[in-house]
Homo-oligomer: A and B are copies of this chain.
Amino acid sequence: MSAVDFSALAEQFTTFYYQQFDQDRSQLGNLYRDSSMLTFETTQVQGTKDIVEKLVSFPFQKVAHRISTLDAQPGSPNGGDVIVMVTGDLLIDEEQNPQRYSQVFHLMPDGASYYVFNDIFRLNYSG
Interface residues of chain A, those whose CB is within 8 Å of chain B, are 1, 35, 37, 39, 44, 46, 66, 68-69, 71, 73-77, 81, 83, 85, 87, 89, 98, 100, 102, 104, 106, 108, 117-118, 120, 122, 124-127
Contacts and interface: CB of A to CB of B under 8 A. Distances in A.
A68 B102 CA distance: 12
A69 B127 CA distance: 11
A102 B124 contact: yes
Contacts of A120: 71, 73, 83, 85
Classify the interface of chain A: helix, strand, loop or mixed.
Answer: strand
Contacts of A122: 69, 71, 85, 87
20 contacts: A1-B37, A1-B44, A35-B77, A37-B73, A39-B71, A44-B73, A68-B125, A69-B122, A75-B75, A75-B117, A76-B81, A76-B117, A83-B118, A85-B104, A87-B122, A87-B124, A98-B127, A100-B100, A102-B124, A104-B104
